[in-house]
Amino acid sequence: MQFADRLNQVETSAIRELFKLLGKPGIISFAGGFPDSALFDVSGIRAAANQVLTDTPGAALQYGATEGYGPLREQLAGLMRARGTAELAAGQLIVTTGSQQALDLIGKTMINPGDCVIVEGPTFLATIQCFRLYGAELVSAPIDANGVDTDQLEALMAKHRPKLVYLIPSFGNPSGATLSLERRRRVLELAVKYQTLVVEDDPYGEVYFDAPPPLSLLALSASVPGSRDLLAHCGSLSKVLSPGLRIGWLVAPAELLAHATMCKQFSDAHTSTFAQSTAAAYLAAGHLPAALARVRQVYAERAQAMADALRRELGAAVTFTQPRGGLFFWLRLTGAGGASTDAAALARRAIEQGVAFVPGSPFFAQAPDGATLRLSFATVGLADIDEGVRRLARALAAV
C-alpha cells in the first residue's frame, strides 16, 4: 500500500520507545506529562454528568454544532475574561477535542508544505509532529529562563518570514520557562511588525504555584494595536480539570476561526457533546476554583520537593530554573566532576536504577541539546520524589 508522502515528515518518537520500558515494577516515573488522577474532582464531574443527563439528555447525547456547545462556549469565554481578556465573547472561540485538535486545525488551516514555522527550542513534541504532518519546515528559537529570546526571535522572523510563530509562554512543556511581561509585549509587536500569526498555547497558565504568570498574549493584545488580529490562543481543561473530557478551545481572528471550524467539521464533526455539556455544567456549578486551588497546592509542594532534592542530590551536576507553575523541570547536565552529559544514555541507566525521565533531544525541532532532560513531578508523591532523585543521582554516578 502506498501511503501519503506527509507521513515521511515524522519519525517514530524516541519517547514512545522509552515508555515501553516503564512497565518495569517499582519504577518511579518522572517521565509522564499527565496530571495526577488523584486530584480529579470526580464527585463534581459526576454531579455535572448526572445533571445534564437529567436536564438536557437530548443536547448531551445528540449531534451538536461544530463550533461547540453554546453553554460551554459561554463558560469558557467567562474563564478567559476572568483571566484578563476583557470582552471576549463566546462566538470568538470554538471548542476543540483537546487543545491538540486546536493545533491540528491551525496546521490544517494555515500551513502549506514548505512553509516555515518558528517554535521554541525546546517545545511541545506533539506540536512539532502535528505541524510537520502539514509539511511545515520548523525553525527553533532559543529560550532562556524568561522564555523565548525575543531578539533572536526577531532575527529569525526577519530571515525566514514564517507562516506562524508557536509559543507556550507560561510554564512551557518541556522547559517550565515563563515568558516575561516585557518579552510578551515584544512578541506582540513583532507579530504586528512582520504581520505574522502568533499561536499562544496555554494549557498550564492556571497551574501556578505562588502567583499567576504575566497576562496572556491574548489579554495583552488589547494594549498592542493590531496584534489581536494576529493572535490565536489555545486553551485546555486537561491540566486543571480532566484530560479525559478532551475539552480544549481555540480563540482566533474571525476568518481563521471560520476556516478552522470548517476543517473541524470534516475532522470529527464536533467534540463530544456528552463531555462538553458535562464540562459546562461543572463550570456553571462553580466547582473549578476549589479544584484548581487544590491542584496548585499539591503541585507546588511537589515542585518544591523536587527542587530541594535536585539541589541536594545532584548539586553542580545539573542546572535548572525552578518552575513557578506547570508540571515540569527542565535540566541540563553540566558534566561537573567528570559526569556524563549524555541524557539519552542516562535515561537508559536510570531505568536500571528504577527511575524514568525523558531525555530532552526530541523536544528540539532543530539542533537538539543532548545534555537536557525533562522531569515531571506531577504524579509522584513527596517521598517518591526524594527517592527518585536519589536514584537519578546513582544513575548519573554510574554512567
Query: Interface with its own copies includes 9 (CB under 8 A)?
Result: no
Whichever of 75 and 273 has its CB closer to its own copies, that residue is 273
The least CB distance from residue 279 to its own copies, in Å, is 10
* Residue 132: all three cell numbers together: 510537520
The least CB distance from residue 9 to its own copies, in Å, is 11
The least CB distance from residue 314 to its own copies, in Å, is 29
With contacts defined by CB under 8 A, name the span among 98-106, 215-223, 280-288, 364-372 that binds its own copies: 98-106
Query: Interface with its own copies includes 60 (CB under 8 A)?
Result: yes
The least CB distance from residue 147 to its own copies, in Å, is 24
Query: Interface with its own copies includes 61 (CB under 8 A)?
Result: yes
The least CB distance from residue 107 to its own copies, in Å, is 8
* Residue 142: all three cell numbers together: 532559543
With contacts defined by CB under 8 A, name the span among 41-49, 152-160, 198-206, 361-369 that binds its own copies: 41-49
Under 8 Å between Cβ of 273 and 60? yes
In the window 147-206, what residues touch its own copies (CB under 8 A)?
163, 197
Phi-psi region of 376 (alpha: psi -120 to 50; beta: other; left: phi over 0): beta
Q: Which of 75, 150, 242, 340 binds its own copies (CB under 8 A)?
A: 242
The least CB distance from residue 11 to its own copies, in Å, is 10
Query: Interface with its own copies includes 25 (CB under 8 A)?
Result: no
Q: What is the Cα–Cα distance from 174 to 179, expressed in whole angstroms?
A: 14
The least CB distance from residue 98 to its own copies, in Å, is 5
Query: Interface with its own copies includes 5 (CB under 8 A)?
Result: yes
SS (H, E, C) the chain: CCCCHHHHHCCCCHHHHHHHHHHCCCCEECCCCCCCHHHCCHHHHHHHHHHHHHHCHHHHHCCCCCCCCHHHHHHHHHHHHHCCCCCCCHHHEEEEEHHHHHHHHHHHHHCCCCCEEEEEECCCHHHHHHHHHCCCEEEEEEEECCEECHHHHHHHHHHHCCCEEEECCCCCCCCCCCCCHHHHHHHHHHHHHCCCEEEEECCCCCCECCCCCCCCHHHHHHHCCCCHHHEEEEEECCCCCCHHHCEEEEECCHHHHHHHHHHHHCCCCCCCHHHHHHHHHHHHCCCHHHHHHHHHHHHHHHHHHHHHHHHHHHHHHEECCCCCECCEEEEEECCHHHCCCCHHHHHHHHHHHCEECEECHHHCCCCCCCCEEEEECCCCCHHHHHHHHHHHHHHHHHC
Cα R_g (the chain), whole angstroms: 21
Q: What is the Cα–Cα distance from 387 to 170, expressed in whole angstroms?
A: 29
Query: Interface with its own copies includes 269 (CB under 8 A)?
Result: yes
The least CB distance from residue 198 to its own copies, in Å, is 12
The least CB distance from residue 175 to its own copies, in Å, is 20
Q: Which of 73, 270, 302, 349 binds its own copies (CB under 8 A)?
A: 270
In the window 324-363, what residues touch its own copies (CB under 8 A)?
none
Q: Which of 130, 143, 257, 327 binds its own copies (CB under 8 A)?
A: 130
**Contact characters 245-264, its own copies, x per CB under 8 A:** xx------x-xx--x--xx-
In the window 67-96, what residues touch its own copies (CB under 8 A)?
96
The site for its own copies, by CB under 8 A, has a size of: 74
Whichever of 5 and 87 has its CB closer to its own copies, that residue is 5
With contacts defined by CB under 8 A, name the span among 124-132, 175-183, 293-301, 327-335 that binds its own copies: 124-132
With contacts defined by CB under 8 A, name the span among 127-135, 208-216, 318-326, 348-356 that binds its own copies: 127-135
Q: Which of 14, 40, 149, 334 binds its own copies (CB under 8 A)?
A: 40
